[in-house]
Amino acid sequence: MRFGGVTLMVSDVAATASFYANAFGLSQVFADPDGTFVVLGSGVAEEQPASALTIEHWRKIENYARPTSPGGFRVLLEHEDVDAVYDSALAAGATDALPPTIRPWGQKVAAVRDPNGVIVEIGEPIAYR
């Protein structure tokens, strides 16, 4: 089995896609002509689809209820310069969730909330063993 990626179910696809592009530099890989979903990537999404972030209108799929709050998950983005990405996200309209800090295992991380309330964690790349 292969992990296929994350889809954020939102009310405003265009605004959310614009936020992720401005805050984190993600680029559009695909957009549905009717504007109900957009796929964003970091430049490797074409080779590794699981690295893509899909933003979809919650009404796109039948029987999906409108989200009333973000679920119990976070989106994790890796970057060597956590401080710069954190500052960029705040400038693009994110709210602070965790200022840049060093975790006990030595990784620098920070976290923000996107305009939908989803937690986005920015972390230095780390090798899992």
DSSP secondary structure letters along 94-115: -EEEEEEEE-TTS-EEEEEE-T
Per-residue pLDDT tens for 79-113? 999 999 999 999 999 999 999 999 988 999 999 99
Q: pLDDT of 27-59, one tens digit each?
A: 888 898 988 889 998 765 455 555 678 888 777
pLDDT at 45: 47
Nearest to 114 by CA among 66, 70, 72, 48: 70
| Paired residues of 63 in beta bridges | none
pTM: predicted TM-score of the whole model, two decimal places: 0.79
Sign of CA dihedral 73, 78, 84, 89: negative
Mean pLDDT of 122-126: 91
Please report, to the nearest 10 degrees, the dihedral formed by the alpha carbons of residues 16, 56, 60, 35 taken in order: 60
